[in-house]
Amino acid sequence: MSVIASLMIFTTLPNLKETFINARLYGKDILKAGKPIIPETMGLPTAITYLITLFLFMPFPFIDWFQGANLEYGENASLDTFPYNKLGEVLSAILAIQSMVLLGFADDVLDVRWRYKLWFPALAGVPLLMFYYTNKGGTTIMMPLQLEPYLGKNVDLGKYPCWIVFDRTNFAF
């Protein structure tokens, strides 16, 4: 599916050049002689294609549960219950990507100032943080076998994901 999406973008982007220029989404290439006009926001078609590919791929991790599975949630849930946690994880990741695409497009069109741009990654990361919160803050990761003698079998990241979303997205280490 990713190969098809890549081929679609590879063939579609050159055709969209005039469309973006006609919509006044262009700039001048100041590093070339004559300063030719080039389209801006060309990442939008690529991002939309990527999101559509993710939407089309979304049922595949859950294919085992679609064949006669129990769709109960809550107290009556059993082992063969649909994995709502996994679905929430996938949807929160897609929503975070979609939010950043929307904010990036808004930045291209509205020419947002840096003091407001600093908040974009934090806003886009909120769906992921909400997923951590709704899953009781499960931020434990398993270590590779090579690191187990030094770090142990599991490492709890704690508040580290929040720190990454709100601080490290804007400032280099």
Most confident of 4-13, 61-70, 104-113, 137-146: 4-13
Domain boundaries, given as residue ranges, for the chain: 1-62+82-156
Q: Which residues are CB-neighbours of 121 under 8 A, at least 6 positions away?
A: 100, 165, 169, 170
Q: Quote the percentage of the chain above a pLDDT of 70.
A: 80
pLDDT single digits (tens) 80-100: 667 777 888 888 889 888 988
Whole-number pLDDT of residue 1 = 80
Average confidence score pLDDT of the chain: 80
For 57, the token pair is 């791929």
Q: How many CB atoms lie within 10 A of CB 34?
A: 7
Find the mean pLDDT for residues 121-149. Answer: 78
Cα-flanking dihedrals φ and ψ of residue 48, to 5°? -65, -40
Mean pLDDT of 38-55: 91
* pLDDT for position 164: 67
